[in-house]
Amino acid sequence: MSVLIITRSVDNDSVKLVSEHLFKMGKRVIRLDTDWYPTHIKITGTTGGSTRITIGDESTTLDDLDSVWYRRFHAGGNLPHDLGQEYREVCVHESRRTLYGTIAALPCFQLDPLQCVRGTDHKELQLSRALHHGMDVPRTIFTNDADAVREFYHQEGGEIVTKMQSSFAVYPDGEEQVVFTSKVKAEQMEEIENIKYAPMIFQEFLPKKLDIRSTVVGNRVFSAAIDSQKSSLTEVDWRRDGANTLSNWFPYQLPEEIEKKLLAVVADFGLNYAAADFVLTRDDRMVFLEINAGGEWLWMSSHVGLPIDEALAEALTDPSVRSGSR
């Protein structure tokens, strides 16, 4: 029996670690580097029949899969640019749609189904589900209305942060700058009318004791924490100096009640994997921020010692450790 890993050729060692556990379990691992599709990988599926994949000189069917680990996706990433812009865009679009469809139609357990992964893209829905399951969440507005921001700013005594829906970078003067969660300054409120061009998220500022990352795998939760207040770079968003914080994280145990609520939220999205962010405030509120269905975990395994790689291999092969089986 086999496990299909959906990833990309430039992925980190997480695929290697999980694959090693699967090999020890006697499983065959098929690695699909999606950025090499369609130029170097051939896939043919037939209605009601087999799906065949050819990578290099090796060809195999996907009929006996135990499971699929959907980790990273970049179909069309290596298409030549000399195709011409419009034609290349069509090729990328069709490659992604076809590969998405092929994966979605595979009749086996998937960690996680594509539609469930995409369902977590909306932060409005994440916070709504968290509230439904009894979690504490930040007071939040999603808006492109400057007056609404001014009112919220006044209600919170000028103590608010702003963030974007998606992660991206901007390049002023050719230098990459990643957009992190940032505290809103008084002088920025003077230009808040510009919000009409791009809606943003505004939340209450949370004075912190700890930042916490909790990774859900099936019916298990692995958590680590960091005192992000030791540095001015990390006090609002620890990712601002993320690479230099790795040795400062330590294992952390979420309260049992919070773990149960987190598992319920993740299961509500139909997921068996998610990375969740919490803040423990100075007044001991455990506040849920967000979840990421594709959040990284390698640093929690290699620097904190949490066995997430082993847990993923188990979830891919053992139904008893999956969501809802607790």
Give residue-wise pLDDT tens across range 68-115.
999 999 998 888 888 888 889 999 999 999 999 999 999 899 999 999
Mean pLDDT for 247-269 is 96
Our count of domains for the chain comes to 3
The pLDDT, as a whole number, for residue 258 is: 97
Residue 176: per-residue pLDDT: 45
Please check whether residues 18 and 90 belong to one and the same domain: yes
Query: What pLDDT, on a 0 to 100 scale, did the predictor assign at position 179?
Result: 67
Q: How far apart are CA 158 and CA 235, in angstroms?
A: 17
In a shared domain, residues 272 and 309 = yes
The answer, yes or no, to whether residue 145 has pLDDT greater than 90, is yes
Kindly tell me the sign of the dihedral angle through the C-alpha atoms of 301, 307, 308, 310: positive
Please check whether residues 125 and 274 belong to one and the same domain. Answer: yes
User: Is residue 125 domain-shared with residue 248, that is, in the same domain?
Assistant: yes
Give the pLDDT of residue 81: 83
Measured between alpha carbons, how far is 207 from 141 in angstroms, rounded to an integer? 19
Does 212 score more than 80 pLDDT? yes
Whether 315 shows a pLDDT value over 50: the answer reads: yes
Domain that holds residue 168: 140-196
Confidence of residue 226 (pLDDT cuts 50, 70, 90): very high
Whether residue 212 sits in one domain with residue 182:
no
Considering the domain architecture, whether residues 9 and 100 belong to the same structural domain is answered as: yes
Q: What percent of the chain has a predicted confidence (pLDDT) above 90?
A: 73
Residue 160 and residue 226 in one domain: no
Residue 10 lies in a domain: yes
> What pLDDT sits at residue 171?
46
Residue 298 located in a structural domain: yes
Summarised one tens digit per residue, pLDDT across range 283-310 is 999 999 999 999 999 999 999 999 999 9
Is the per-residue pLDDT at 177 higher than 60?
Answer: no
Considering the domain boundaries, does residue 25 fall inside one?
yes
Q: What is the pLDDT of residue 80?
A: 86
Is 326 a domain residue?
Answer: no
Residue 237 pLDDT exceeds 80: no
Q: Is residue 196 pLDDT above 60, yes or no?
A: yes
pTM: predicted TM-score of the whole model, two decimal places: 0.90
For strands 51-55 and 41-45, give the pairing: antiparallel
CA distance 4 to 170: 35
CB 254 within 8 A of CB 262: yes
**Domain assignment of residue 201, yes or no:** no
State yes or no: pLDDT of 41 exceeds 50. yes
Q: How confident is the model at residue 238 (pLDDT cuts 50, 70, 90)?
A: confident
Of 69, 80, 88, nearest to 5 by C-alpha is 69
Which of the pair, 109 or 181, is modelled with greater confidence?
A: 109
* 65: phi then psi, degrees, rounded to nearest 5: -70, 135
